């Protein structure tokens, strides 16, 4: 399908430390070095080429080359984990040099390809690091993928038969091939017993996203049951992060995520966007199935990289996942990955059969609007009539609690798109409260940093109390003010009122939830939820409602313009703006401007009297 560039297969797990260290210890102890096919160097199978010519001496040279390569791999992993990508790349280059010096040997070709894959992954991760895209503590949770890199959860023959009997009683239909062999049944037992406390929350959480994932997979021509792979990948957590630096519901590493169109940088990580990551996963799975023609091989390639599976097929002539797993030719995580998905699919489609009674979370409903940033999510949440936590739940891809500079898609509650955009248009840029952080890297200048974030050098200097000739230090943290952000202001002075609180409102003749919601910049659903009524409830004159978004009582004498009530007049105080005044009275800036014959850009002075409603 043209998506997968030849010669650049991706891998999704770190370099392998243990096999190299075991081999080194064995050599130092005078024992023959240990070979572990699961480490990436496949075992020789019947009918394959044996050792290269040269007898014992040739075999010793081959072992020495493999040992040296594994040692360089181990050193590269240590360097990568310590953040020294340059040294890690040098170690991988040294490993390739050892292979080249060993001469022509077909058995070393796979090892060379493995090293090149790891170097390509390191380069992709290093390129991403330039944009500060690495996940940080506080925005991530452990990925259940890390649980797969354990000894396979084998169980006894009696337990296998018990699970087989239970499985045979299950009745769901499947649109992917299902095999209930001992490996799969062991994972059914693991998830339903030993791992039960972790599996149940994922089942409940699946209610948020599973309908959306199945819809997108169907639109992309994939079996809908593939959606259950998300349980094994992330337990449906948008911020799941594995040891291999894969992130999101579908656990993309940065290189593969970018290849399939996901934005990943300091401000935005679309691997955490459930809808966009699902589209990317569907495209990747579709390409893998076109490549291998088998869903088990496609899933294995999704986990370990298509290059690994291609090489196994070319080397053995086999196209059977279970053959590769049985022969120990796959990493432990990959060998466990497919049977775990089949087990999770079976349990998810008939949870009561296996003793699970999940309280499914409701699907997340939202509209998408295009926002010109920068805007802090607190401000946007107030405009949408929700609290900050709900805004973050709707937009997990926004990493810094703000919409960055530029045009960005933002999710708001269903039905609130128009009201959100209208409310935001009334907020002056100086009160949108957007800022960020930048860590200085080698060779960077203030000019380069300012251009990157679309601000002026003088803004950065003022925000950080820097003199005109300040010298930057590598690792120095800079506060980056958003466009129009008043640097001299304390951030607290531009925060909106707490969106968690509510205010009282008394229903008048002709009121509907929609009219009241528009009047106070919120949504009918938000008012209904705060007031303990249904969205379609009939309102009674005099009925009291709760309006979310303000700790103050909504002035009952401050109806929308045109209501037959006494006029409400406000005297401007020092520091007030039209936006803040409108927010206090739960009217719009345009309403105030129309009543006072002014424009939104008019400067208002302390002591000015403004008609709020009449």
Show the domains of the chain with their CATH numbers. Answer: 18-129 (no CATH), 141-354 (1.10.530.10), 367-432 (no CATH), 435-481 (3.10.350.10), 502-613 (3.10.350.10)
Q: Can you give the pLDDT at residue 276?
A: 96
Q: Which pLDDT tens digit goes with each residue over 460-474?
A: 887 677 776 778 888
**Maximum separation of any 2 CA atoms in the chain, in Å:** 104
pLDDT band at 613 (very low <50, low <70, confident <90, very high): confident
Q: What number of other Cβ atoms are within 10 A of residue 416's Cβ? A: 24
Tell whether the model's pLDDT for residue 24 goes beyond 50: no
Beta-bridge partner residues of 132: none
Q: Which pLDDT tens digit goes with each residue over 479-489?
A: 777 533 333 23
What gap in Å lies between CA 60 and CA 335, rounded to an integer?
Answer: 30
Q: Can you give the pLDDT at residue 286?
A: 95
Tell whether the model's pLDDT for residue 25 goes beyond 80: no
Does the pTM surpass 0.75? The reply is no
Tell whether the model's pLDDT for residue 369 goes beyond 90: yes
pLDDT band at 62 (very low <50, low <70, confident <90, very high): confident
Q: Can you give the pLDDT at residue 346?
A: 94
Q: Which pLDDT tens digit goes with each residue over 521-552?
A: 677 767 877 787 866 667 887 888 888 754 44
pLDDT band at 102 (very low <50, low <70, confident <90, very high): confident
Evaluated on CA atoms 77, 198, 305, 18, the torsion sign reads: positive
Tell whether the model's pLDDT for residue 93 goes beyond 50: yes
Q: Can you give the pLDDT at residue 266?
A: 78
Can you say how many angstroms the Cα of residue 272 is from the centroid of all Cα atoms in its chain? Answer: 2
* Cα 332-333-339 angle, rounded to 5 deg: 95
Evaluated on CA atoms 439, 443, 447, 448, the torsion sign reads: negative
Q: Can you give the pLDDT at residue 227?
A: 97
471 vs 340, more confident: 340
Per the CB < 8 A criterion, the answer to whether 577 and 603 are in contact is no
Per the CB < 8 A criterion, the answer to whether 303 and 146 are in contact is no
- 368 DSSP 8-state letter: E
Q: SS3 for 538?
A: coil
Percent of the chain predicted with pLDDT > 70? 75
Mean pLDDT of 52-59: 49
Per the CB < 8 A criterion, the answer to whether 187 and 336 are in contact is yes
Q: Can you give the pLDDT at residue 281?
A: 97
Q: Can you give the pLDDT at residue 70?
A: 77
DSSP string, 26-66: HHHTTSPPP--GGGTSPPP-TTS--SPSSHHHHHHHHHHHH
Burial of 330: CB neighbours in 10 Å, binned 0-12, 13-18, 19+ = buried
Mean pLDDT of 21-43: 36
Per the CB < 8 A criterion, the answer to whether 145 and 264 are in contact is no
Tell whether the model's pLDDT for residue 292 goes beyond 70: yes
54 vs 330, more confident: 330
Q: Can you give the pLDDT at residue 456?
A: 74
pLDDT band at 442 (very low <50, low <70, confident <90, very high): confident
116 vs 117, more confident: 116
What gap in Å lies between CA 375 and CA 403, rounded to an integer?
Answer: 5
- 361 DSSP 8-state letter: P
Q: Can you give the pLDDT at residue 146?
A: 82
Q: Can you give the pLDDT at residue 552?
A: 40
Alpha helices in 385-495 (DSSP H): 388-394, 417-425, 446-453, 457-463
Mean model confidence pLDDT for the chain: 76
Q: What number of other Cβ atoms are within 10 A of residue 568's Cβ? A: 18
256 vs 597, more confident: 256
What gap in Å lies between CA 257 and CA 263, rounded to an integer?
Answer: 8
- 139 DSSP 8-state letter: S
Percent of the chain predicted with pLDDT > 90? 31
What gap in Å lies between CA 586 and CA 505, rounded to an integer?
Answer: 11
Q: Which pLDDT tens digit goes with each residue over 118-165?
A: 777 666 555 444 344 555 555 678 888 888 876 667 777 777 887 788
Which tokens sit at 77? 């992993």
What gap in Å lies between CA 82 and CA 218, rounded to an integer?
Answer: 42
Mean pLDDT of 271-277: 96
Per the CB < 8 A criterion, the answer to whether 15 and 76 are in contact is yes
Q: Can you give the pLDDT at residue 534?
A: 67
Per the CB < 8 A criterion, the answer to whether 66 and 105 are in contact is no
Beta-bridge partner residues of 408: 371
Tell whether the model's pLDDT for residue 516 goes beyond 90: no
Mean pLDDT of 6-25: 39
Residue 151 gets the label, from left (phi > 0), alpha (psi -120 to 50) or beta, of: beta
Q: Can you give the pLDDT at residue 176?
A: 93
What gap in Å lies between CA 55 and CA 321, rounded to an integer?
Answer: 33
The alpha carbon torsion through 536, 537, 539, 545 (nearest 10 deg) reads: -100
* Least confident stretch, 39-48, 169-178, 185-194, 200-209: 39-48
pLDDT band at 448 (very low <50, low <70, confident <90, very high): confident
Which tokens sit at 444? 């960077």
Tell whether the model's pLDDT for residue 111 goes beyond 60: yes
What gap in Å lies between CA 589 and CA 601, rounded to an integer?
Answer: 10
Q: Can you give the pLDDT at residue 392?
A: 92
Q: Which pLDDT tens digit goes with each residue over 398-413?
A: 988 888 878 899 999 9
């Amino acid at each position: 399908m043209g998506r997968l560039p030849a010669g650049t297969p991706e891998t999704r797990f770190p370099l392998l430390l243990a096999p190299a260290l075991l081999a080194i210890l064995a050599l130092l102890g005078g024992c023959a070095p240990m070979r572990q096919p699961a480490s990436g160097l496949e075992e020789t199978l019947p009918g394959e080429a044996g050792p290269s010519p040269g007898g014992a001496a040739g075999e010793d040279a081959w072992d020495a080359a493999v040992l040296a390569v594994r040692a360089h791999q181990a050193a590269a992993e240590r360097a990568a984990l310590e953040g020294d990508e340059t040294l890690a790349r040098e170690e991988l280059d040294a490993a390739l040099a050892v292979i080249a010096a060993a001469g022509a040997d077909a058995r070393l070709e796979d090892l060379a390809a493995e090293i090149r894959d790891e170097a390509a992954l390191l380069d992709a991760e290093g390129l991403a690091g330039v944009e500060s895209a690495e996940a940080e503590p506080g925005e991530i949770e452990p990925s259940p993928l890390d649980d797969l890199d354990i000894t396979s959860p084998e169980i006894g023959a009696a337990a296998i038969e018990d699970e087989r009997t239970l499985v045979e009683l299950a009745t769901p239909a499947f649109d992917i091939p299902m095999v209930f062999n001992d490996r799969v049944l062991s994972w059914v037992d693991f998830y339903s017993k030993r791992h039960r406390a972790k599996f149940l929350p994922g089942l409940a959480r699946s209610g948020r996203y599973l309908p959306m994932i199945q819809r997108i997979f169907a639109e992309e021509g994939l079996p809908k049951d593939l959606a259950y792979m998300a349980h094994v990948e992330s337990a449906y957590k948008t911020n799941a992060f594995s040891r291999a630096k894969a992130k999101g519901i579908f656990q993309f590493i940065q290189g593969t995520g970018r290849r399939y169109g996901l934005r990943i940088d300091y401000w935005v990580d679309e691997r955490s966007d459930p809808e966009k990551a699902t589209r990317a996963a569907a495209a990747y799975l579709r390409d893998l199935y076109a490549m291998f023609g088998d869903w088990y091989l496609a899933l294995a390639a999704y986990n370990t990289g298509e290059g690994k599976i291609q090489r196994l097929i070319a080397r053995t002539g086999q196209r059977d996942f279970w053959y590769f797993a049985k022969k120990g030719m796959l990493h432990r995580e990959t060998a466990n990955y497919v049977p775990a998905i089949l087990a999770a699919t079976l349990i998810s489609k008939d949870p009561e059969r296996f003793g699970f009674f999940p309280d499914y979370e409701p699907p997340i409903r939202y509209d998408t609007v295009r926002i010109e940033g920068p805007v802090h999510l607190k401000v946007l949440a107030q405009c949408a009539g929700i609290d900050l936590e709900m805004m973050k739940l709707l937009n997990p891809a926004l990493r810094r609690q703000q919409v960055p500079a530029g045009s960005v898609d933002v999710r708001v509650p269903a039905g609130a798109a128009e009201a959100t955009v209208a409310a935001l248009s009334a907020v002056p840029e100086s009160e949108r409260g957007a800022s960020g952080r930048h860590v200085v890297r080698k060779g960077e200048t203030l000019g380069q940093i300012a251009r990157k974030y679309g601000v002026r050098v003088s803004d950065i200097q003022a925000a950080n109390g820097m003199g005109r000739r300040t010298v930057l230090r590598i690792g120095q943290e800079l506060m980056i003010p958003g466009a129009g952000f008043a640097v001299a202001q304390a951030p607290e002075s531009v925060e909106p009122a707490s969106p968690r609180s509510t205010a009282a409102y008394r229903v008048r003749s002709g009121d509907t939830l929609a009219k009241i919601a528009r009047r106070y910049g919120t949504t009918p659903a938000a008012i209904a939820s705060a007031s303990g009524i249904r969205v379609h409830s009939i309102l009674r004159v005099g009925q009291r409602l709760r309006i979310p978004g303000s700790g103050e009582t909504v002035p009952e004498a401050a109806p929308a313009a045109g209501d037959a009530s006494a006029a409400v007049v406000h005297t401007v105080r020092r520091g007030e703006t039209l936006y803040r005044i409108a927010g206090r009275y739960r009217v719009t800036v345009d309403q105030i401007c129309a009543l006072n014959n002014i424009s939104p850009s008019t400067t208002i002075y302390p002591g000015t009297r403004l008609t709020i409603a009449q």
